[in-house]
Each structure stands twice: as C-alpha cells, then as structure tokens.
Chains A and B, each alone.
Chain A
C-alpha cells in the first residue's frame, strides 16, 4: 500500500515537473556549473546538520589522523584504546560506531567485517575536506547511517597552476616523529596532488594503574603508520572531467595489556589498505552525469602470544576484503529551482577471513531517486531508495528534509526525517563459531529539527552564529552478540531510542588588535534500550554503554599579527560500561600556539601543543588508560 502510494507520488512529481518545464524555453535555464557538478552527497546535504573543519584546523592537524582531529576539536564521542595510533571509532547522536558511515569520494570505507571505521587509519593531510553530516539520509547513503556520516573528499582548484611543494615535520612526547609532504602540480588541463605521510611513536605514556597501585609506563604500545594518497584530475573537455585517486597505507601497532594486568601485552595488529578510485563527470546546460567506480583492498593481521617468550602464537588471525563499487548519478534541472537525481549503485564484496573458514561474497544493488527544490527562501528534498542484497532486500527507504528562512540572512529552520537501515556485518553473518546468516538488517528512522542563526547581532564587529538541533532515532532489531547455550551468537535483539539536543555557537570579534574566535559545542544525549527480545527487566530502560549524557567542547583562539594562541576545554560526563558501573566524568584542557613567518620568500609555520595540560587520568574504553600530558611541535615549510 505504502509502496504504491510512494511510487505514485514520485511519478506525479516527475510528470508535473515535465509539463511545467515544457512551458519554459530550455535556452533560458542556466544552472551554475558547480550545482550541476556537485557530487550527490554534497548536493543533498543542506537539510542535515553539517560540520566542516576549516582550512586552519586542517593545517594544524595535517600530521595527525582523523581520530586526533575529532578528539581535540569537537564534543563528539570517540572510543580509543590509548595512543593516537590505537583503533578509534566514532559514535554520532547516541548511535553505535557501526552507525557512522565513513565515505571517501562517496564510497563507504567502513570495515566490511566489523562495520565500523578506524579513524586512526585516516590521515588528515590526505584529504581536501572532512565533513560530518549528522542524521545522514538512509535513502541517499544506504546502510549504516543511524548516527550520520563522515565524508572525506579531495577536490582541485583548476585556477591553481604550477608546482607547489609543502613539507611538514613534527616531534613529540613518547618519541613521536611525524612527517608529511604535499606535492601539487597543475595546468589548465591536468592537475596532480600527492600527499606522502608517515609517523612512528613508542606510545609508552605514563599512567596510574589503580589495580597495581603504581605509576607505570605503557608497555608494548609502539606504532608506525605510512602511506600516500595521490589524486589526478584531467579536464577532458569544457564540460567534462576525469579524476582518479590511489590511496596506499600501512599501519603496525603493538597493543598494550589492559589495566591491572601483570604482564606486558603480547598482541599486535597490522593494517594495510589499497584504495583506488576513478570518476567521470559531465555537465550540460541543465543536466549532469557522474559515473564513478572504486576498488578497495583491505588487510588486517592480528596476533597474540601467551607470553613474550612463547615460540608460537596463541592467535594468528588474518582478514582480507576486496570490494568493487560502481555508482551512476544523472541530475536533471527541470527549472532553475527544481532538480531530480536518478541513480544507481552497485557493489561486490569478497572476504577471506580465517574465522569464516570459507570465502564469503556479497552483491549489492540499489536504485534511488532524489528531488530538490531550492529557492532563495526555502529548500526541500525528497529521496527514495530500494536496495537488493545477497542477504536481504530493503523496503523502500524514504527521506525528506527542508530548510526555510524565517528572517532573511539571519534565522533559518531546518528539519529532516529519514528511514534508515544497517546491514549485518560479515562477522555477524559468517564468524565461526556463532555467525548467524539469518540476521535481519537493523531498521528504523531518525528525525531532527534545528534552528540556524547567522550573525545574530547583525554586527560586523561581532559575528555570533548558533545552531540548535533536536533529534530522535528509533532503531529496531539492533544486533547484539548474546550467549545461546554454549556459544555466543548475534541476534536481532533490541529496540533503541536515541534522543538529544545539540547546541553549537561561534563568536568572532576583535579585542584591540587581537582577533578572537570562540566556539562552544554542547551535546546532550540519552540512548536507551526500550525493548529486548527476552524482556530482560534488568536492562530494559537502561542506558546504552559508553554514551555520556553531556559532552562539551569549548575553544578560544586569539590571533595577533601572525601569532595565534588557542585554548580548548573538553568535558565528558560519566558513562556505563556494565549494568551497574560507570567510568567517571572527566575534563581535559589543551593549549596550542602557532606562528607564521617568512624566511626569505619561503612561508614557514611553527606550532607547539600541550595536550591534556593538567595531566588528567581518564578512560574512553574501560581498562584502557588514555595518555596524560603530551608535548608536540610541528614545522611546516612551503618550499615551492
């Protein structure tokens, strides 16, 4: 019933639009190329809360990985096992780490085996933009967006010609060395950008072990991380372009033991990835076409020995996934304000994992349609998707969003509602023992409403912006691993509600010759288990683990001439790690100072940081201490 109704709506939409369009003279339509050309997820992102890191912040973290960027520059929930090289995952809006879809050039790079993405394996310096879309639409993104999406993109500026070379190098506590070289060469027809990065650290920070009642140094915690991301862009005509990219990266890390353990850890993990991407874009007067394809190879090896002296391994586990993607998107502007995207995505995935015992495969095909109406005072989007997969078929997924202006240039209202789903991971389906091939995907919806205030005071002297969002998510059939007799197996176990309020405000003004830039982010969230398969009274109504009720981020930056000093404060409230016990609330303060100067004609930037200035003890994951006070220094030189 709902399906047919929906189809009718879509059909009508297209038909009426067509008849409308016939009255217009085609020649008079002139859509800015940038709108026709914009990749789908960027084009349809206005209805959701969107956060993008600015150029200064990206540069400040150019030697770090995305986990450090988010830990230091936001109030977002991350789970980390200690050092910056440790596996770190992101939870958005009270949903789990496997509910954040991480995309590179529009293709999901989340682990096919675990469903989550390790942010310590994403180099900040390798991407042109890093954008967070809270409440990303299920219809546009597909599986795994109950929390939202993190989009990593590379673009080029065709006006930037010639050769550029930037080299930066950093040193820090724990024998940490990091480096990054960015080469850019371009002319009007071809552009190349390569980012070459690497780092290593002993990771042996001091921490207080309250089980052993002593201050110790983390043992077996060293890591190194090397790679390169190369992007090429060809202008094949006035209206067409091909871009291609290759990303190769290897990370080796030793995993320290949990707190209270009497032995140094003996676990190691090696990750390597080769990701390739190619895209063809074409645009006409009122339409555009984007065809893209990608191949991702991911490999992980985990080992454990009983003791450091043991000759053999207790666990030697290999994971390999090969993924092939293709995506086609055709956008047509019927009028200046109204466009519809028609598209399809295809993916083929194979996994060779020791624990699956046999090679596993998955084929996925989806079709979608998305319409957007935009005028100077409002914007509305409507999208629908149907997906077919080896292990399930999704029902029609619908999402709708809109923005309307209440006070021109100052006050806008935003709202969106989206049906979502998350397919079971390969570990959920195929792990031996316990994997359950009969699992259903998680399904549900998210809704949000927000107020955007631009330049509240209407003053050039002080620019005050505000974003207030209220959200609610209903996740059904959430997959949980539970003991069934003598084995643990994943089941579609519970219904979860996640609801919260997010406030973000920025305030820019001058104090004498200082330019001051302040940012305050306050997130309040409550995620609860509403119903479970076995109606376990001890956990129904209970908060999900590792979800704080309140988290805040405050940053104040003061700039004078070419000097900048920035102070950041983080607060996270207590979080459950089992039914009775919580990790305590904690707060940390970081300081950064930087200076841009010129040595001859060469621009040079120097930056020093002190992280966790007051050496506070805290854990993001139970039993894994986080580092205390850390010092670091970075020099960046624009050689050419």
Chain B
C-alpha cells in the first residue's frame, strides 16, 4: 500500500512536472513576435517628401521597429503619403495615395510581391470575396464621381470599375454587401454606396451626414458611420456639424443620427473605433468618448482627455490606441486601458501616423 502511495506521489510529481514544462513552453511562444504578426502603424509622411513608412509595434518587448518596408525592399520606401494598409490572405496592401499606387507585400517578409498602378487617387483596400478585393479611388476635384475598382486577388487584373459617389473612402464588408463611404474628396458628398459583391453592382445609396469618412461594425451587425461635416466653399469655415450615423445592415437604412454639436477639431479622419466586444463605439470629438451601441444620447463625460489624429482598438485585448501627429517631428502612439481610459504607455513612430493594422 505504501509502495502504491509512493508510486502515486511520484506519478503526481511527474505529472505536475510535465504540466510545468509544457506550460512554460507555451509561455515562450506567447512572448516573441512572429514574422508578419503584430501591430502595424501606418505613417503617412509629409506631402511631397516621399517619407511615408510602416512601423511595427512589438507588444511583447514594447518596442517600435521603424522602416519596415525599407528594410525588406532595398532601402527604398513605399512612397509619398501612405494613406492606409489592409492585411488579408497573408498579404499587406499598402495604399500610397500621392504616388498613385498600391504596394502589395508578403506579410511574413514584408517584401514587395506586386505593385498595383496606375490609380489616380487611391485611398483604401478591402477584401470583398475569396477571389476579389476592392480599391476606393478618386478625389472628385472636378465634381465627377469616384470609383470602386474590383481586382482579381490572384492575377491583380481589373475585373470591373464601379461608379460610386464623390471621394470614396473607407469600405466595410457586411455579409455580401460592401458599404463605401463617399467622403466628397476635394468637394462634398453625404452618401454611403452599398455594393452587392456577388453582382458587383451598387444596390442602394444611403444618405447619411456630410462627408462620411469612417465606418465600423458592432456586435448586432449595425453599421456606424462617422461624418466629418462639410466646409463652406467660400470661407472654408464649418458649414455643418460632425455626426455619427447608425445604419441597420438588415434593412440598409439609417436608424439613428447623433449630432456632435460642432465639427470635430481633429485634422484626421480615422476618428471612430468599435470596442472589442462590439458593444461600445469610441469616437474623438476633441477628446475620446465612449458611446454604448444602444444609447439614445451622446455621453457627456470624457473617457480620455486628449485629441488625436486617429484612434483604433486592439481586437486582442480591447486597448484603445491614440495616434498623434506632430507638425514638425515624428508622431506617437498612445495605449489606453479600455476599462478606465488610463494610459498604459506611449511610443514614438513615424511622420503623421493615421491608423493601425492588427495582424495576429
């Protein structure tokens, strides 16, 4: 009997030891950055200076790796005004607005695999189907509408060009529908174009607020659109307030509009972000506020008392990221806790960081 107890003890100890060993192995895997994974900060650069870059934030070592694109591509940068980046199918689509092209990189190595050009004024890329992606293009400076260009994901050939509103910006895929915000470009617009990705036709045009620039999806499949407001063409003074518009994706109709009371003071457009649980919308109106998706009025209390060029939410841990641009030097990224809005840390990145891409 004693022998069995001893044997049991040894087995138990062995068992515990094994758990510890495997347990610690698992921890090692979680503390180093895998190639192509992490938080990618999109830095626009200065107009005409060809100094747009992508930085990589390593959440484990809490360091920023700069010039990711240059390091992998013969010390040559992506180009002038890096407007956005999208990552899917292990590829990164870097939209270089003023160089009129999109650089496609392999996410694991960041080496360039394809250049998509020419595009007159490309803004964003969104995955539409397993074989197609969409590019929003056009500044509508002469009043003509912009386009959503459909590309084949394998051959990078243009499949179709769809006419939408003026200055098409961000796109959001909900089920089989791509919602495209028509921001106005150099002018003004107040619509969201809805494209059926199976037919590649615009099936509906939803009227929202002036100059819709940002879009997000909540847990109930409602679409939230941030409208910046328009400017008087003669005085360039604000002619309408910023607004947040809630659209029901089942009916494709507006269900609620929140007037922000002023035009937001930020110079940026990436000013709304959905919380990790999809139940709250963060928005920047001179400071960061938290709006419950079921709310009927805007909150009065500030969550984070600071204005940003762009805001994001980390889908892994719900942290709020604030991207701050500096007029003369490099920008910064600030991390805040979603529970109470307290600052976790801040790090210097590139010139005019406007957004982040989370690739885990």
Contact = CB atoms under 8 A, between A and B. Distances in A.
Interface in B46-68: 46, 48-51
Interface stretch (A345-353, A398-406, A572-580): A572-580
Interface in A215-273: 258-263
B345 interface: no
A623 B50 contact: yes
A314 interface: yes
B142 A578 contact: no
Interface of B: 46, 48-51, 74, 76-77, 79-80, 96, 98-101, 115, 117-121, 138-139, 141-144, 186, 231, 234-237, 263-267, 307, 325-330, 351
Contacts of B266: 485-486
Given A210-B76, A536-B326, A486 B265 contact: yes
Interface in A482-540: 482-483, 485-487, 532, 536, 538-539
B190 to A, nearest CB: 18
Given A312-B144, A577-B49, A260 B99 contact: yes
Contacts of B144: 310-312
A623 B48 contact: yes
A337 interface: no
A19 interface: no
Given A313-B141, A486-B263, A486-B264, A578 B79 contact: no
A252 to B, nearest CB: 21
B232 to A, nearest CB: 10
B186 to A, nearest CB: 6
B143 A312 contact: yes
A539 B329 contact: yes
B118 A262 contact: yes
A539 B328 contact: yes
B329 A261 contact: no
Contacts of B327: 482-483
A357 B235 contact: yes
A581 interface: yes
B142 A211 contact: no
B100 A263 contact: yes
A314 B119 CA distance: 15
B222 to A, nearest CB: 27
B161 to A, nearest CB: 13
B48 A211 contact: no
A433 B328 CA distance: 20
Contacts of A313: 141-142
A8 to B, nearest CB: 45
Contacts of A4: none
A268 B32 CA distance: 52
Summarize A's interface: helix, strand, loop or mixed: loop
Contacts of A259: 50
A538 B326 contact: yes
Interface residues of A, number: 39
A487 B264 CA distance: 11
B49 A622 contact: yes
A306 B329 contact: no
Given A263-B118, A314-B142, A432-B236, A536 B79 contact: no
A311 B236 CA distance: 25
Interface in A288-341: 304-307, 310-315
A459 interface: no
A432 B46 CA distance: 21
A244 B347 CA distance: 64
11 contacts: A258-B48, A258-B80, A313-B141, A314-B186, A487-B236, A487-B267, A536-B326, A577-B49, A578-B351, A579-B330, A622-B48
A259 to B, nearest CB: 7
Contacts of A263: 100, 117-118, 120
A623 B118 contact: no
Nearest to A261: B99
A313 B144 CA distance: 10
A579 B328 contact: yes
B236 A306 contact: no
A310 B330 contact: no
Contacts of B328: 482, 532, 536, 538-539, 579
Contacts of B46: 578
Contact of B142 (A305, A532, A539, A622): A305
Given A312-B142, A433-B236, A536-B328, 15 more contacts: A211-B50, A213-B76, A260-B99, A263-B118, A305-B142, A306-B120, A310-B120, A312-B144, A314-B139, A433-B231, A433-B235, A485-B307, A532-B328, A539-B329, A580-B330
Contact of A211 (B76, B237, B263): B76
A418 to B, nearest CB: 29
Given A211-B76, A485-B265, A578-B351, A258 B50 contact: yes
B234 to A, nearest CB: 6
Nearest to B74: A213
Contacts of B326: 536, 538
A623 B80 contact: yes
A216 to B, nearest CB: 14
Contacts of A483: 267, 325, 327
A343 B70 CA distance: 60
A262 B100 contact: yes
Contact of A578 (B49, B80, B118): B49
A432 B51 CA distance: 27
**Which 7 interchain pairs have the tightest Cβ spacing?**
A314-B141, A312-B142, A433-B236, A538-B329, A262-B117, A485-B265, A262-B118
A259 B80 CA distance: 9
A546 to B, nearest CB: 12
Contact of B51 (A312, A486, A538, A581): A581
A463 to B, nearest CB: 47
Contacts of B98: 258, 261
A307 B120 contact: yes
B236 A262 contact: no
A536 B331 CA distance: 12
Nearest to A540: B328
Given A311-B144, A314-B186, A578-B46, A357 B234 contact: yes
